[in-house]
Structure 1
Amino acid sequence: MITVFGEGRGFRVIWLLEEMGLAYRLRPVDLLAGVQDDAEFLAINPAGFIPAIKDGDVTMVESIAIMEYLMARYGPTPLAPEPHDPAFPTYQQFLHLGEAGLAASIYFVVGARNFAPESERQNWSAGQALSIFESRLTLVTRQLARTPYLAGATFTAADISVTYALELAQRSGGVILGDVEKSYMARTREREGYKRAMETCWSRKAWLAEAPTP
């Protein structure tokens, strides 16, 4: 059975597993409490960040890489268009943009706004990271004005990647999303796979419920 270590970006992996109907277990990892005494987790990822997975003899980190591995290993799946599919280039772009362009930049904004000393919460680097997020978000907005999902008419793993980033930005990054993004998130959150993943990731569910988003 596939073991997923940690929620956070691990939610992407859990959601994907639910969409694919694959058996797994979630092994919680409490980063806020520290992982220095969590020998089982550190044996999987000595760098100490989440998510990570163990699948038989395979161990992996990085949420997007894990998603690509699972779809290749246990596919084919409509969540990943085939390379000859006209939707494939757009799918690839937004699958990676969800982390490299959106979540990775808003992560530093979230850290500054929520955990830094008061005098550091509006620092230059946080402002730069927010600017990067906002510029990449324009690509998402433009695409969603054309199609209901990021790769076209059909939901794919790119939507899992980007929805996670938009939730993070809205819930903890102080980002106010527009109507296009809100309508899109309403569609993706209505999926049964999303709902099942939320029931598994109970701490994430509680986190999202703490402060209802506009």
Structure 2
Amino acid sequence: MITIFGEGRGFRVAWLLEEMGLAYRLRPIDLFAGAEQDREFLAVNPAGFIPALTDDDIVMVESIAILEYLMARYGPTPLAPTASDPVFPLYKQFLHLGEAGLAMPINAVVATQMLAREGEQDNRTTRWARDIFESRLGLVKRQLERTPYLAGEAFTAADISVAYALLLARRTGNADFGDAEEAYLARLTGRDGYKRALDTCQGTKAWAMANGG
């Protein structure tokens, strides 16, 4: 049985599994309630961050690596274009940009907003992180002017990767999107796989509903 430990970026994994029609279970992890006392979780990931995944005797961490593992092991799937497909370079670029160029910097901003003392939330580091996010967002905007999805005409795991970051930014009040981006997010969040994943990830669902959907 595939088990996802933790929501957050684990939502990407749940969404992918729903799109692929694979059975799994979600093991909630509350990092704010003292995950350092959660022995089962720490046995899986001693570093104590989420998500983590177990698949029988396989243990994986890092959400994009988990997506790639699942598609390679349980594919082939149209969610992962093959290397011979003309859209493969775009797919790979946006699959990784969704984390390295978008989610990572905006997460730094969100964490500072949540944890820093008043007066210290807007600082040189958060301004740098916002600049990184905005510059990479420009690549997303340009591609959406050309095609309905980031790798072309079809939905792929690259869209799961990027949509997570865009929704994080929007729900935390750190991004204002134009019509193309909003239409893109509406297409993605209207998918049955997204809705099923949201029903499984109740913490994510409650947070999303409290912050504009």
Same fold (TM over 0.5): yes
Mapped contact 2:172–2:211 kept (Cα < 8 A): no
Q: Distance in 2 between matches of 1:77 and 1:173?
A: 34
The equivalences for 1:1-214 within 5 A come to: 1-212=1-212
Question: SS in structure 2 opposite 1:53?
Answer: strand
Instruction: Return the letter of the residue paired with 1:121.
Output: Q
After TM superposition, what 4+ stretches of structure 1 lie above 2 angstroms from structure 2? none
* RMSD after superposition: 0.8
Distance in 2 of aligned mates of 1:56 and 1:166: 32
Scaled by the length of structure 2, what TM-score is found?
0.98
Offset, 1:179: 1.3
Query: Which shifted more, 107-116 or 195-204?
Result: 107-116
Supply the distance in 2 between the matched residues of 1:73 and 1:82 (Cα, whole angstroms): 14
Normalized against structure 1, the TM-score is what? 0.98
Distance change in 2, residues 1:167/1:150 (3 Å): same
**Retained in 2: the 8 A contact 1:16–1:67?**
yes
The one-letter amino acid of 1:6's match is G
Instruction: Quote the sequence identity (%).
Output: 66
Alpha-carbon distance between aligned partners in 1 of 2:113 and 2:36, rounded to the nearest angstrom? 26
1:173 to partner: Cα distance:
4.7
Distance 1:210 1:161 in 2: 22
- Residue 135 of structure 1: how far off its partner (Å): 0.2
The runs of 5 or more residues in structure 2 that have no matched partner are none
Letter in 2 for 1:127: R
| Residues 10-64 of structure 1 deviation map (CA, whole Å, 9 limit, x = unaligned) | 0000000000000100000001112111000001110100000000110010000
For the residues of structure 2 that align with 1:12 and 1:75, how far apart are their CA atoms? 17
**Contact 1:98/1:162 (<8 A) preserved:** yes
Q: Unaligned stretches of 5+ in structure 1?
A: none
Q: Answer yes or no: is the 8 Å Cα contact 1:113–1:173 preserved in 2.
A: no
C-alpha separation in 2, matches of 1:34 and 1:102? 27
